[in-house]
Amino acid sequence: MTRLVAFNKPFNVLSQFTDKGTLASSRETLSDYMDIPRVYPAGRLDRDSEGLLLLTDDGRLQARITDPKHKLPKTYWVQVEGLPDADALAALQAGVDLKDGRTAPAEARRMDPPAGLWPRTPPIRVRKSVPDCWIELTIREGRNRQVRRMTAAVGHPTLRLIRASIGDWSLDGLAPGEWRDIKP
């Protein structure tokens, strides 16, 4: 029977079970939060990003979740520097030019801060003279640090990044560091 696990990855945790860094490294990994045999992450979430990470013991399901040809939507809550106007959101929606090519069109809208949002440790940097706001961004591809590069390309660097959902699977009800089995 296929196992699928939803995990709310905290900030500063590697999306792997071991740290292949230096011997003196003390970075947190998935093994600091769960001891589930034979499950592996379906995709990655950068160490400085938070939110939904799916893990499975089924290679075919893992490929379906991660392969861009399936165009599984991934929705992010992104706290950005500044207040994106209609032109910035339209640029995200149309696709932006990055060094590795143009992104596919995305869904983008300003949003209120996510309900029930947990504090981040350490907190984001705040500049009194520069406002910030949240946007919801849904993409269907998965380039390296894509969301951060997209928001920077439209003039609004990412301050905090939380993946809220992948396809029909969401972060709902999971506190940072918590996991639960879900239906594949």
Q: Which residues are catalytic?
A: 46
Tokens of 99: 């060094």
Tokens of 120: 């981040």
Beta bridge partners of 10: none
SS3 content of the chain, % helix, strand, coil (to 5): 15, 30, 50
CA–CA distances in Å: residue 81 to residues 70, 117, 145, 152 = 32, 18, 17, 9
Sequence-distant (6+) residues with CB within 8 A of 9 are: 15, 30, 45, 49, 50, 51, 52, 53, 176
